[in-house]
Structures are given as C-alpha cells and as structure tokens.
Chains A and B, each alone.
Chain A
Amino acid sequence: MAVVFKKTSMLTDVPFHYCPGCTHGIIHRLVAEVLEELGVGNDNIIGVAPVGCAVFAYNYFNCDMMEAAHGRAPAVATGIKRVHPDKLVFTYQGDGDLASIGAAEIVHAAARGEKITTIFVNNAIYGMTGGQMAPTSLPGQVTTTSPYGRDTSHCGYPVKVCEMLSQLDGPAYIQRVSVHDVKNVVAAKKAIRKAFEAQIAGKGFSLIEVLSTCPTNWGLPPQEALKWLEENMIPQFPLGVYKEI
C-alpha cells in the first residue's frame, strides 16, 4: 500500500506528555518537519530543552539534545554553537523560561547575533508549575498567583519579546506567529523554516515566537482556548515579521 502520510523522522516514537488540547504538540511537529525538510541530517542538529512544559523535549526531538537550567538555554546553545559552528543549534523555550528568568540570556544571545534559532512558545502562563502568572500574562488575566486578575498597577505589563529583540542589531530574523487555526499553522511552519534558513546562511540570531494555548491552566476546553488565544492574545501580541535582514 502506498504511504500517503507519515510522521516526521525528526520526532521520536514516544508519546507526548502534553495535556489534551495543548498546542505544544503542533509546534513540536512543525519544528521537526522543518528540520527534516532542511535535509541536514539529525546528526547535524543539536537542540536545547528548557525548564517548563517542554522540559521533556529531549525525549521527542530525534537529534542530540541538552537539557538546560531554567532560562539558560540560549547560553547553553551558545557554548554548543561555538564548539560546533557547522551544526544547526536551536533552543525551544516557554515564556517563563525565556521572558522572565532567562531574559538576560535571550537578550544577549540576540545581541551577539549568536547563530542559533530560538522557538519561543508563548502561552501567557506557567504551565508546568500549575498556572502561575507569567511575564506574558495579559492585563486582567486570572492565574494562581494573580487570583484577582493581573493588576498592571501592581505587577506591570506583558513582556513583548519580538518587539524588544527586533530593536537589536544582532538578530537576523524575528517573527511572531500563532497556531490557533490551520491557516496560521501553515504560516508558522513557513516562519520556522525561514528562521532556520537564516541560521544556515550564517546571518545571525533568529527567533520565532509562537502563540500557544494552555487549556488546562486557562481553565478552558481546547476549542475555546483557541478562540481565547485569537481574541485576547493576538491583540496584545500582534503577529508579523519584526526583523528580517
């Protein structure tokens, strides 16, 4: 029988631990498909997993993987890339990891024009630890540490990573995408491909921010979570290309 569809070889044959309806699975597959389609071979790819929901990413991506301390993935990836400049090196990080505890690491990796690619999954909440307020939580968003809603007069505003990093000279490609519907999933894959191509071309640092859902900690069924993302997150975090050289 003719094979009309198969799973990408860049994902291992291990079940994801992600919650039902979570879009990490889609994002993993997009990254893996791009890595496969680039044709560099899995021995030439080294990924760095974060601390957070994607902590087990090292079990899923079918290439060499390192697990970094919380927020430190861009520094770890820097060390890797300097040893193996010919390998494709990427980090996969959530919003707490990248935009809060790892803010220094991502800013300076970007400023150095470090030739790595970062997949930044923004779901506006700390998922793994049970739904605490994230640096990207929306104004008024109820979380376990902002039970009355995020009060901007008390704890400030969401961090806009693409907007911030695009002001630097080091990044080669920065885009914000979403995966809340098919059209956007297709666009997200294209963006991820461009980011890796920028690395292969030696242009500098690249980052794709992917708006993602967390039905479990948002307290919404998966369908409603997709809708919530579209209606609430996109106005706060506008999609688009923020930097391209």
Chain B
Amino acid sequence: MAKVLMKGNEAIAEAAIKAGCRFFFGYPITPQNQIPEYMSKRMPQVGGCFLQAESEVSAINMVYGAAGAGARAMTSSSSPGISLKQEGISYAVGAELPLVVVNMVRGGPGLGSIQPAQSDYYQATRGGGHGDYRLPVFAPSSVQEAVELMATAFDVADKYRNPVMLLGDGMLGQIMEPVEMIQERSEPLPKKPWASGVPEKEGRSIINSLYINPDECEVHNYKLERKYQEITANEVRVQLIDTEGADILLVAYGTMARICQRAAKDAYKQLGLKVGLVRPITLWPYPYEALKNAAEQPSVKHVLSVEMSTGQMVDDVRLAVCGAKPVSFYGRTGGMVPTVKDILAKLSSIKEGM
C-alpha cells in the first residue's frame, strides 16, 4: 500500500478501524481531539458507532459495556482524562474485558500543559487505578509504528482479556508523517463466548469484578497474576540500536527515543563516544532482560535514561541494571522536550566523569 501523509492521531484512529474496532466512545481533550473527530466521521462509514460521552468517566464505562457485549471497543484521551478513566479501567481489568485506551500524554500534574510529556509513565505501567493489576503498555515512537501497534494492542487485549494502553504523547498525536496504513483485518474477530448477547455465548453471561468473599477475591487476583506472568513471558518488545560495544547506553521510549537516536549518532562525531540506544516498545512488560544484558557488556560505562518527565522510567532502568553500572537521568518536564543539544551536553558531562 502506498504511503500517505497523516497526522498521528488520525492515523491511529484509522488503524483501529482497520483492526476491527467499530465502537469508539470519547470526550474532547487536547492534544488527542483528532482521534474522536476522525472517528465521528469514519465510524458511520464503516457501520460502526462513535458516541461523544458526557465525561471521560462515562466514555470508559461505555467501552466497558461494549467490550462486555463482545465488541472491539476503545477510547482515547490525554493525561487528565486518563486519570478519570482509571476507575473504569480497574473495573474492566477485574471483569477481564479486552479494550484499548490511547493516552496522548500532556504535561501534568493537574491541568498541566497541552504539550508532549511522558509523566504518566508510573500511572500507565503500575496499574493506574486501584487493585493488583497491570496493563500491557505499547509506546510507539513513530506514526508508522503507532498504526502497527494499534492492531497488536487489540489482539493482545483479546488474547489475554485485559485492557491495553497505547501510550503516546502530544508530539506523536500531532506530528504528520508518511505512513503505510495497515491492511483491513481479513480474518474474523476472535469468538467471545463469555460476552453478553453474542450468538456464541455459553449460558448466562455475567460480567463482574465483585468477589465479596476475600478467599475468592484472592483466587481471582492470582488468576490475573498468572496472566500477567504469561504476558511478561510473551509480550516484551524492545529495539536495540547500536548497543553492541557501546560506551554509554541511552534508554528512551516514544518521541524521546527518536531524539535520542539522533543524539547517539551525533555523540560519535562530536564527542567520540559510542552511544547505543535501548528503546522499550512495551513499557509494561518492561524489557528488563534486554537492558540488563546490554548494560552488563564490559564496554558499557554508563546508562542514561532520558525522559520528558522528572524521572519515572529511570526506576525501571535501575531495576534492570541492578547496580552493575552507574545510571543517570536527564529529562525535562511540563511539556518541554529535551533537544539533541541538551542530551549531548549531558553525555559530555558523563564522559568527563568516566
């Protein structure tokens, strides 16, 4: 298929439709408005349903109902709106409903700013709402990767009966890039015999997250936990760029990884440093093993996590490196984006201390 120039938000919306999503419920918030806007135009054309909810809380609960009724359903929002959706996400996890949530992260806390940020990392990777749970979190670094991961997100959600998050940022949502759109899904969607109102259902369908007896609730939580162990074993995704024999490893995801990739190249020319990049594509499950192995190479003297936050993923970097090498952090926050020059300056100061 030929490449077309598309805005990230619109490409993600189209990819969801190509992946078989026919139900979208959302609420306006910058910088993700082009997703609901695009859906409102496209869904009626493909026999789907776009509905603007009265709040993010209602939107996620509409997705809960649609997912429980057996449909591929999604919502999208940005940081403050994602906070509101956490209740519904927790319930969907408890009721084991597959659905997809897109978060085009903006500066926080509170109303924050509308510029790109990565300050929802903890919320995304540690569950986000109440209870013992995790979400698979995909972090694309280009519009092309985002459209491909949209299909993966729905498949992973269905496979494990768990909500999945696509974590972008304001830049990924707003950037226009050439993209080769994914093909329309040709195979039928997976059967959901547990869902309400579907022809294939087996007896009375009950979608529920209440286990009033604590022993039953514990059994349920361990069932979820086994699922998370399975996801951890099967779904880790990471890209390693020039990490072999590197002097310094950069660790970055999403938009930040693209800027770091350029910084890594320039570091060789300008500082004589061999800089590799570890780019987690899944933020949960986190690529601990790949990062550990890369960091433990004798050539590696230092590991630098670069984020659009005050330092959140760096905790996972430290867990992965586990004291084998020094770990530093560089970041900007509130919607400010580290530049190649900023990262080079940080690399230069690390070099001096090596």
Chain A hits for B49, CB < 8 A = 82-83
Chain A hits for B121, CB < 8 A = none
Closest B residue, CB atoms, query A48: B65
A83-B69 in contact given A46-B197, A72-B58 (Cβ < 8 Å): yes
Chain A hits for B210, CB < 8 A = 55-56, 67
B62 x A79 contact (CB < 8 A): yes
- Determine whether B208 belongs to the interface, using a CB cutoff of 8 Å to chain A: yes
A83 x B95 contact (CB < 8 A): no
- Determine whether A64 belongs to the interface, using a CB cutoff of 8 Å to chain B: yes
A83-B207 in contact given A69-B91, A75-B58, A105-B54 (Cβ < 8 Å): no
**Interface residues of B toward A: which range?**
35 or more
Chain A hits for B68, CB < 8 A = 66, 76, 79-80
Cβ distance B28 to chain A, nearest Cβ, rounded Å:
15
A66-B207 in contact given A105-B58, A108-B54 (Cβ < 8 Å): yes
Question: Which residues in window 23-64 of A have CB below 8 A to B?
Answer: 42-44, 46, 48, 55-56, 58, 62-64
Question: Which residues in window 68-86 of A have CB below 8 A to B?
Answer: 68-69, 72, 75-84
Closest A residue, CB atoms, query B88: A69
A66 x B208 contact (CB < 8 A): yes
Cβ distance B94 to chain A, nearest Cβ, rounded Å:
9
B204 x A65 contact (CB < 8 A): yes
Cβ distance B195 to chain A, nearest Cβ, rounded Å:
8
- Determine whether A241 belongs to the interface, using a CB cutoff of 8 Å to chain B: no
- Determine whether B137 belongs to the interface, using a CB cutoff of 8 Å to chain A: no
- Determine whether A104 belongs to the interface, using a CB cutoff of 8 Å to chain B: yes
Q: How far is the CA of A62 from the CA of B205 in the complex (A)?
A: 10
- Determine whether B70 belongs to the interface, using a CB cutoff of 8 Å to chain A: yes
Q: Which of B53, B55, B69 contacts A80 (CB 8 A)?
A: B69
- Determine whether A115 belongs to the interface, using a CB cutoff of 8 Å to chain B: no
Q: How far is the CA of A107 from the CA of B58 in the complex (A)?
A: 12
Q: Which of B55, B71, B197 has the most CB of A within 10 A?
A: B197
B208 x A80 contact (CB < 8 A): no
Chain A hits for B154, CB < 8 A = none
- Determine whether A203 belongs to the interface, using a CB cutoff of 8 Å to chain B: no
- Determine whether B111 belongs to the interface, using a CB cutoff of 8 Å to chain A: no
A79 x B64 contact (CB < 8 A): yes
A80 x B65 contact (CB < 8 A): yes
The secondary-structure label for the interface of chain B is: mixed
- Determine whether B171 belongs to the interface, using a CB cutoff of 8 Å to chain A: no
A79 x B65 contact (CB < 8 A): yes
- Determine whether A87 belongs to the interface, using a CB cutoff of 8 Å to chain B: yes
Q: How far is the CA of A105 from the CA of B27 in the complex (A)?
A: 14
- Determine whether B87 belongs to the interface, using a CB cutoff of 8 Å to chain A: yes
- Determine whether B209 belongs to the interface, using a CB cutoff of 8 Å to chain A: yes
Cβ distance A197 to chain B, nearest Cβ, rounded Å:
20
Q: How far is the CA of A182 from the CA of B23 in the complex (A)?
A: 44
Q: Which of B63, B69, B71, B88 has the most CB of A within 10 A?
A: B69
Closest B residue, CB atoms, query A51: B210
Q: How far is the CA of A66 from the CA of B204 in the complex (A)?
A: 11
B196 x A80 contact (CB < 8 A): yes
Q: How far is the CA of A64 from the CA of B54 in the complex (A)?
A: 26
- Determine whether B206 belongs to the interface, using a CB cutoff of 8 Å to chain A: yes
Q: How far is the CA of A43 from the CA of B201 in the complex (A)?
A: 10
Question: Which residues in window 305-351 of B have CB below 8 A to A?
Answer: none
- Mark interface residues in B42-75 (1 if CB within 8 Å of A CB, else 0): 0000000101011101110111111111110100
B206 x A65 contact (CB < 8 A): yes
Chain B hits for A66, CB < 8 A = 64-65, 68, 95, 196, 206-208
Q: How far is the CA of A72 from the CA of B58 in the complex (A)?
A: 7
- Determine whether B284 belongs to the interface, using a CB cutoff of 8 Å to chain A: no
User: In the complex, given contacts A68-B64, A76-B62, what are 16 additional A-B residue pairs having Cβ atoms less than 8 angstroms apart?
Assistant: A44-B197, A64-B201, A65-B205, A66-B196, A67-B206, A67-B209, A72-B88, A75-B62, A76-B68, A79-B66, A82-B66, A83-B49, A83-B69, A83-B197, A104-B58, A105-B61
Contacts A/B (CB < 8 Å), 14 sampled? A55-B210, A64-B204, A65-B196, A65-B205, A66-B207, A67-B208, A69-B91, A76-B68, A79-B69, A81-B65, A82-B23, A84-B196, A84-B197, A104-B55
Ranked nearest first, the 10 interchain pairs of A and B with the lowest CB-CB distance are: A79-B65, A75-B61, A79-B66, A108-B54, A76-B65, A83-B69, A64-B196, A79-B62, A72-B61, A67-B208
Query: Taking beta carbons and an 8 Å cutoff, which residues of B are in contact with A?
Result: 23, 25, 49, 51, 53-55, 57-59, 61-71, 73, 87-88, 91, 95, 196-197, 201, 204-210
